[in-house]
Amino acid sequence: MPARVVVGTQWGDEGKGRIIDNLAGQSQMVVRFQGGNNAGHTIVNEMGEFKFHLIPSGILYAHVTPVIGNGVVIDPRVLCEELNHVEARGISTDKLKVSGNAHLIMPYHILLDAAHETMLGRRRIGTTKRGIGPAYTDKAARLGIRVQDLLDKKILRQKLDTAIGEKNDLLEKVYNSSGVDPFEVMEQYAGYADRLSPYIADTSLIINRALGRGEQVLFEGAQGCLLDIDHGTYPFVTSSNPIAGAACVGAGVGPTAIDEVLGVCKAYTTRVGEGPFPTELSGSLSEHFVSKGGEFGTTTGRKRRCGWPDLVILDYAVRLNGLTGLAITKLDVLSGLEEIKVCTMYEYIHNGERAHYVDFPPHQSIFHHCLPVMQSLPGWKEDISGVRRLADLPKAARDYLDFITAHTGVPINMVSVGPGRDEFIEV
Ligand code: GDP
Ligand code: IMO
Ligand code: MG
C-alpha cells in the first residue's frame, strides 16, 4: 500500500514515533502534516534514544526522504537545534524537505502562549507553551509568517513589522508583560533563514510525484484524536487536526491518495495537560503505569496522567479516522496486573436519571461528568518483552487483544512489547 497515515487514537504519546520507525524501513518518504514541536516522538534503536519534535521520525533511515508539510507550524530555532543534534550523531539531514507554505512560530507566539495560560489560571489548558495555539491563530487570521518568507528579507521585515506592532500591544497592554524587539527578531530569523534555506521546497509536488512513482509514503500524525481541535475534548485540545483527514490538507495530497490509516493505541490510556479523562486512575495503580511505562512527557517532562483502556474513545477514533488497522503499544506495561479493567461505555447521571453512552457523548458537559462502565479481564504476570510471536503471548494477553478487535471490528496489525526497534510483534 503506497500511502499510509499513522495517527494517535488517544490524547497523544501513544508511541507513534516508534511505529513510524518500524514502518519506515519499507518506506521511501515520511511526512509530518500538522502540529509542531509540541510533539515528542521517541525512537530507540541500536544508536540509542532519539526524541524528535519536528523532524519526521523516518530520518534515521538513509533511504527515507523526511518531509515537513505545509500543515506544520515550525519554530525555526527548534528545527535548527534538532538538525544540529541529529547531524552531530552522524545522521545526514540532506534529504529533508520543508514546505515553504508552513507557518513559522515566532518569539511572540511563545510569550503569548505562556501569558494566556497564566491569565486562564485554574482554567488553563496545560499547553506545552511552545507557541502552537498563537501560531495557528495567526495563520487563520492571515497574520502569519511562512517559511517561504525567510527567503525574502524585505517581505520578512514587512510582515514582521505588521505583526509585531499588534503582538507587542497585546503583550504589554493586555497581558502586562514585555514585548519583543523587532530588530532582534529580524536578526535571529535571518540566521535561521541561512541555515534552513537549502531544505525549503514545494513539498506537495514532491509527495505527489513520489506517490505517482508508486513509492511508499507514510504520513506521521502528531498528538492524538482526542486533542483534535474540532473533535477532541475542546477546549482542552491542541490547535490543529491530528486526525487522518488532516494529512490531505497538511501535506497537499487528495483524499483518494490515501490507502490505509493505522491507529496507534497505547494498551492503557494517558493524558498530559488539563481536561476530562473518564478512566483516569490515582494511587498505586496509576503509579504502576507511570513507573513501568516511564510516563513522563517527551517534550515537557511532565508526569502523564494514567488510566485504564477506554474503548469508547477508541471507537470514536475508529470512526473519525476511518482506521483500517491498529497498532497496540506498550502491552508489556500491563504485565503484573491482577486484572485489566476495560471501559466499554459511559454512565451519565443527571437529575437522578441514568443514561448510558456507547458512543462518544455529543456534549462536553456530559463527557466531563461521565463515569466509565468497566469490564474486568484477567491480567498476566509474565514479562512479555521478549515475545515476538502472537502465539507466544500469555493467553490473558491474547484475550485482551482479541477483546479489542471484537469490540472495534478493526484488525490489530502490530503489537509492541518494548521501546526498542525489534521489540514488536507483527500480526
Ligand atoms: P509518541 O508521541 O506517540 O511518538 O510517543 P512518545 O514517544 O511521546 O511516548 C511513547 C514512550 O513509550 C516513549 O518513551 C517510547 O520509547 C516508549 N515506548 C514505545 N513503545 C513501547 C513499548 O511497546 N513498551 C514500552 N515499555 N515502551 C514503549
Ligand atoms: P505527541 O505527538 C501529548 C497536549 C498538551 C495540552 C494540549 C494543548 O508527542 O503525541 P499545545 O501546546 O498543543 O497547545 O497543548 O495538547 N499535547 C500533547 N499531549 N502528546 C503530544 O504530542 C501533545 N501535543 C500537545 O499537553 O494538553
Ligand atoms: Mg509524544
Looking at the structure, tell me whether residues 213 and 188 fall in a common domain: no
Sort strands 48-52 and 3-8 into parallel, antiparallel or unpaired. unpaired
Nearest CA to ligand 2 atom 13: 238
pLDDT band at 45 (very low <50, low <70, confident <90, very high): very high
Is 251 a domain residue?
yes
Looking at the structure, tell me whether residues 94 and 209 fall in a common domain: yes
- Whether 329 lines ligand 1, by a CB cut-off of 6 Å, is yes
Looking at the structure, tell me whether residues 28 and 54 fall in a common domain: yes
Looking at the structure, tell me whether residues 189 and 241 fall in a common domain: no
Distance 299 CA to ligand 2 centre (A): 9
Looking at the structure, tell me whether residues 111 and 185 fall in a common domain: yes
Distance 192 CA to ligand 3 centre (A): 25
Residue 423 alpha carbon, nearest atom of ligand 1: 23
Out of 238, 263, 288, a domain closes at 263
Distance 169 CA to ligand 3 centre (A): 34
- Whether 222 lines ligand 2, by a CB cut-off of 6 Å, is yes
Q: Kindly tell me the sign of the dihedral angle through the C-alpha atoms of 124, 128, 133, 134.
A: positive
Looking at the structure, tell me whether residues 147 and 192 fall in a common domain: yes
Out of 243, 263, 283, a domain closes at 263
- Report, in this order, helix, strand and coil percent for the chain, each rounded to 5: 40, 20, 40
Query: How high is the mean pLDDT of the chain?
Result: 97
Q: What is the CATH number of the domain that holds 54?
A: 3.40.440.10
Distance 243 CA to ligand 2 centre (A): 14
355-384 confidence digits (pLDDT tens)? 999 999 999 999 999 999 999 999 999 999
- Contact indicator for 282, 224 with CB cutoff of 8 Å: no
- Whether 330 lines ligand 1, by a CB cut-off of 6 Å, is yes
Mean pLDDT, residues 164-190: 96
| Phi, psi (rounded to 5 degrees) for 287 | -60, -35
186-203 confidence digits (pLDDT tens)? 999 999 999 999 999 999
- Whether 417 lines ligand 1, by a CB cut-off of 6 Å, is yes
Specify the residue for cell string 491563530: 137
214-254 confidence digits (pLDDT tens)? 999 999 999 999 999 999 999 999 999 999 999 999 999 99
pLDDT band at 300 (very low <50, low <70, confident <90, very high): confident
pLDDT band at 298 (very low <50, low <70, confident <90, very high): confident
Give the domain range for residue 179: 103-196
pLDDT band at 1 (very low <50, low <70, confident <90, very high): low
Best substitution site from 110, 128, 299, 306 to test ligand 2's pocket, by max atoms within 8 Å of Cβ?
Answer: 128
Residues catalogued as catalytic = 13, 41
Looking at the structure, tell me whether residues 205 and 89 fall in a common domain: yes
pLDDT band at 297 (very low <50, low <70, confident <90, very high): confident
Looking at the structure, tell me whether residues 258 and 180 fall in a common domain: no
Q: What is the CATH number of the domain that holds 127?
A: 1.10.300.10
Is 141 a domain residue?
yes
Mean pLDDT, residues 28-46: 97
- Whether 418 lines ligand 1, by a CB cut-off of 6 Å, is yes
- Contact indicator for 30, 67 with CB cutoff of 8 Å: yes
Looking at the structure, tell me whether residues 9 and 94 fall in a common domain: yes
Cβ burial, residue 409 (10 Å; 0-12/13-18/19+) = exposed
Best substitution site from 78, 111, 127 to test ligand 2's pocket, by max atoms within 8 Å of Cβ?
Answer: 127
Cβ burial, residue 240 (10 Å; 0-12/13-18/19+) = buried
- Residue 299's pLDDT is 81
Out of 175, 196, 217, a domain closes at 196
- Contact indicator for 9, 267 with CB cutoff of 8 Å: no
Mean pLDDT, residues 5-20: 98
331-350 confidence digits (pLDDT tens)? 999 999 999 999 999 999 99
Determine if the peptide bond prior to 235 is cis (ω within 30°). Answer: yes
Is 307 a domain residue?
no
Specify the residue for cell string 507566539: 109
Mean pLDDT, residues 145-172: 96
- Residue 389's pLDDT is 98
Looking at the structure, tell me whether residues 155 and 185 fall in a common domain: yes
